[in-house]
Amino acid sequence: MSSTRATISKILTYSCVDGPGNRLVLFLQGCNFKCPGCHNPHTRGICNHCGECIPACHVDALSIVDGRIAFDPTDCDQCDACLEACPINANPMVHDYSVAEILEIARQHHEFLSGITVTGGEATMQLKFVIELFSAIKADLELRNLSCFVDSNGHLGIDAWKQLLPVTDGGMLDIKAFDPAMHRELTGQDNQRSLQSAEFLNAAGKLYELRFLLIPGITDTKGEVDSLIGFVHKLGAETRVKLNAFQRHGVRGKAESWQPMRKDGVAAIAEQLRAAGVRNIVQPVLFT
Amino acid sequence: MDSTLPKLRNIVTDASLNPAQKTHYLALEAENLLSYPPLDSETSRALDDGIICDMCEGHAPFKPRYVLPDYSVVLKKGSDYLELPAPVTLAEAINTLMIAYHQVPSVTGMPVYIGLLDELLLPFCDEVSDADLHQQIKLFWRYLDRTLPDAFMHANIGPSDNRVARTILRVDAELQQTAPNLTLLYDPATSSEQLLAIAANNIISCCKPHIANHPIHAQTFDDIGYGIVSCYNALPLAGGSSTLTRINLKEVAERSTDEADFFERTLPYYLELQFKLMQSRINFLHSESNFFRSFLVAEGWIEQDRFTAMYGVYAMAEAVNALQDLEGRDGRYGFDATANALGHRISAVLAETVANRPVEKCWRGRAMLHSQAGLTSDHDATPGVRIPYGTEPDPVSHIRALAPHHQYYESGISEILTLDETVRNNPEALVQLCKGAFANGFREFTANVASNDLVRVTGYMIRRSDVDGYKQGQGSRTNTTALGSEAVDNNGILERKPRVISHEFNPSYD
């Protein structure tokens, strides 16, 4: 078995928002985008063992051992004060897992699972691990019925997708904005690769869902919505489009002053999409 | 009598009760003027102290708690007593059932079981179009909700996938009624994936049906069959249960000095007292009440020897946590492996005790263990073996923690999984959870989706909008709204993290 390990900030054995059915969800640590609207900002950075989180922990679960942060989960009450204290949006509570360890977790829960989804952070930043994990699942007699999904910002290059797709059943691709300047402002990166990735997955029949985050005054504009409609028509009118609504929960920095996206605003945009021939639209059910 | 008169007057003048509801409460008060079936002093004291409980069934049980008639008898042969010919058409068959239900007593005064409806009605459907079937079921459903307004009234469908089952699911989702309650008997070998998917969509729309693990139940009962009634009680068909008594495990644990004392002294002592309570109530029903001289027996709808007795337990969570405290262990029930294992051990002991202790005038000569889902008047006692509300782990951990209990509770056990609303966009997740639960030995799968208007209170349904109306003094035509309203007030349940409600029902007037 492979010795490749992944840095994972959280594992869920129940999720109904990360692909079809109930999914085992791995939150892989680290992201190449810097979205102010991110609701999991603590999954972006990679720990540099500075130790600034240690005094924030009220149960003394964190320490420095051999120059590295050590986390003892025994007394942790998940207050998340260490995440607030981290200056680089990292997470001292991450844990490294081998492929074999993840397979064991999947095995324990497989009767409850429709599949496994890697998300993040940006899961494809740990591409080697993801490919090895998915390959191992496909080769495992007990686990091979689990579908393997990737939730991605699409910044991964086409050549890398070519390695990943043969062992991947579906992808959820998040398009942050269609206007290139807006995308750069929101993420720090160009959107060309994200759009290419969506088209590439679509052509391979593996684009499960295109996601678009509606932020009032920023991405709910006529220009963005028209571009979304145009892009969906390029992919095919049956493309499943999930409209997400920006909420302040978990965000840091300038996004704290953004207005939350309201239910009626999402419904109005969904209606515009429907009127323009987009047929498979998923709207959020929770607005918190 | 002096204290009774003002209470009777309160019932008679209560602005929120309709005349039928008043009559029911008045009858209960009259029954309770009679002396209790004979009990020895120790059993009587345990009953008074609330360690064992008779579920307020009344002082003189003159009808079984739950009756599950074999309605196929009246559909095949008609009834001399009711002067009914055997029905030929679907309309006649439904009409016959509608009449039959009014002859079936139970502790609530309304039938708790209205039959395995698809199997009963399918023989009458050959010449019936889909549109006609839909219309007839819709009117039938409306009739049930309006004339037998009690959410303990329970219909069963399945395990086969057929057009009557599908039509019932469709109508149930369309009408969004609290009554009847509905269980789909699911068998992976004979029910289709599609039927389970439709059921999942219905759960998302109205928190019904409840799904029963048919292969496990079928194995527990016999060829005549079983039914799921009221709050997820599994009982013999053509029979039922004479009584349901229950033991508060928390009270037993609190009377113990340590874990060993609990297992060796207090638990066996109180378990035996509950058998005595149960036997005395059964004796009155079977030997003094004359219930079994009913035409229901004479015509073969029910058989006297197919009535079991339900041996209920509750407050497992509090009992385990109390024993953990006595032993100086921190782990809490539902979350800690040692605490969970202690709970499983208690269940195993209960099952063994019930299997070995003869009960007279009882199906197979033994009671059946039951995880009892609470009364509205309960405080600080979690129903059955459930994890305390508002503290449940994620649904998968929740199921895994409780699954090992299910093998022991042959006459019923249910856990209510509360799922947040995101599941609305993904019913397949619900299907997968149900399959996982059954693969791990769950007998019953029940899910509540947050913010549905229909809300489960332990096993029965109430409408949130009805609760609001009831509390504004408008009254409600369904009996269970008053009970649900009490649960809402006692527990703040509607405000809770999604929302689960404990507690079965409290049939007495306070």
pLDDT, one tens digit per residue, over A140-152 is: 999 999 999 999 9
Q: Which residues of A touch B425 (CB under 8 A)?
A: 16-17, 282, 285
Whether A22 and chain B come into contact, CB under 8 Å, resolves to: yes
Are A142 and A107 contained in the same domain? yes
Q: What is the mean pLDDT of chain A?
A: 94
Q: Is the pLDDT of residue A3 over 90?
A: no
The nearest CA of chain A is from the CA of B105 a distance in Å of 40
The nearest CA of chain B is from the CA of A285 a distance in Å of 6
DSSP state of B501: B
Mean pLDDT of A49-56: 94
Residue A58 located in a structural domain = yes
Are A140 and A57 contained in the same domain? no
* pLDDT at res. B16: 83
Residue A287 located in a structural domain = no
The nearest CA of chain B is from the CA of A283 a distance in Å of 8
* pLDDT at res. B277: 98
Which structural domain, as residue segments, surrounds residue A113? 5-42+95-282
Residue A90 located in a structural domain = no
* pLDDT at res. A99: 97
Whether A17 and chain B come into contact, CB under 8 Å, resolves to: yes
> Could you tell me the CATH number of the domain that includes residue A72?
3.30.70.20
* pLDDT at res. B488: 54
* pLDDT at res. B393: 84
The nearest CA of chain A is from the CA of B194 a distance in Å of 15
Q: Determine whether the interchain pair B425/A22 forms a contact, defined as Cβ–Cβ distance below 8 Å.
A: no
Are A169 and A241 contained in the same domain? yes
Whether the Cβ atoms of residue A223 and residue A259 lie closer than 8 Å to each other: no
Q: Which residues of A touch B426 (CB under 8 A)?
A: 16-17, 20-21
Q: Determine whether the interchain pair B396/A17 forms a contact, defined as Cβ–Cβ distance below 8 Å.
A: no
Are A182 and A136 contained in the same domain? yes
Whether the Cβ atoms of residue B333 and residue B322 lie closer than 8 Å to each other: no
pLDDT, one tens digit per residue, over B288-313 is: 999 999 999 999 999 999 999 999 99
Measure CB to CB from residue B428 to each of A15, A20, A111 and give the nearest one: A20
Residue A27 located in a structural domain = yes
> Could you tell me the CATH number of the domain that includes residue A182?
3.20.20.70
The span from the first CA to the last CA of chain A, in angstroms, equals: 43
DSSP state of A156: S
Are A265 and A184 contained in the same domain? yes
Are A249 and A131 contained in the same domain? yes
pLDDT, one tens digit per residue, over A185-242 is: 999 999 999 999 999 999 999 999 999 999 999 999 999 999 999 999 999 999 999 9
Residue A260 located in a structural domain = yes
Residue A67 located in a structural domain = yes
DSSP B244-286: EEEEEHHHHHHT-SSHHHIIIIIHHHHHHHHHHHHHHHHHHHH
Are A55 and A172 contained in the same domain? no
pLDDT, one tens digit per residue, over A261-271 is: 999 999 999 99
Q: Determine whether the interchain pair A17/B422 forms a contact, defined as Cβ–Cβ distance below 8 Å.
A: yes
Cis amide prior to B180 (ω within 30 degrees): yes
* pLDDT at res. B377: 74
Query: Longest Cα pair distance anywhere in chain A, in angstroms?
Result: 61
Residue A193 located in a structural domain = yes
* pLDDT at res. B375: 78
Are A60 and A164 contained in the same domain? no
Q: Which residues of B touch A208 (CB under 8 A)?
A: none
Total domain count, chain A: 2
pLDDT, one tens digit per residue, over B47-61 is: 999 999 999 889 999
Query: Which among A16, A18, A146 is the top mutation candidate for probing chain B, defined by the most B β-carbons within 10 Å of its own β-carbon?
Result: A16
Are A138 and A266 contained in the same domain? yes
Q: Determine whether the interchain pair B436/A111 forms a contact, defined as Cβ–Cβ distance below 8 Å.
A: yes
* pLDDT at res. B2: 65
Q: Determine whether the interchain pair A16/B399 forms a contact, defined as Cβ–Cβ distance below 8 Å.
A: no
- Domain termination site, one of A61, A85, A109: A85
Are A72 and A106 contained in the same domain? no
d(CA B342, CA B324): 9
Are A107 and A250 contained in the same domain? yes
DSSP state of B358: B
Are A127 and A201 contained in the same domain? yes
Measure CB to CB from residue A13 to each of B396, B421, B425 and give the nearest one: B396
Q: Could you give the percent of chain A with pLDDT greater than 70?
A: 99
The ipTM of this complex is 0.86
Whether the Cβ atoms of residue A93 and residue A68 lie closer than 8 Å to each other: no
Q: Which residues contact B168 (CB under 8 A, 6 or more apart)?
A: B117, B118, B137, B141, B155, B157, B182
Query: For the range B140-147, what are the long-range contacts, defined as Cβ-Cβ under 8 Å and sequence gap of 24 or more?
Result: B140/B94, B140/B97, B140/B98, B141/B168, B141/B171, B141/B172, B141/B175, B141/B177, B141/B180, B142/B175, B142/B177, B143/B98, B144/B101, B144/B114, B144/B177, B144/B179, B144/B180, B145/B175, B145/B177, B145/B178, B145/B179, B145/B180, B145/B478, B146/B477
d(CA B104, CA B476): 23
Q: Which residues of chain B fall short of a pLDDT of 70?
A: 1-2, 149, 151, 451-510
Whether B193 and chain A come into contact, CB under 8 Å, resolves to: no
CB atoms under 10 Å from CB of B355, counted, come to: 13
Query: Angle between the B479-491 and B464-471 helix axes, to the nearest 10 degrees?
Result: 90
d(CA B427, CA A250): 27
- Residue A231 host element (H or E): helix A222-235
Q: Determine whether the interchain pair B425/A285 forms a contact, defined as Cβ–Cβ distance below 8 Å.
A: yes
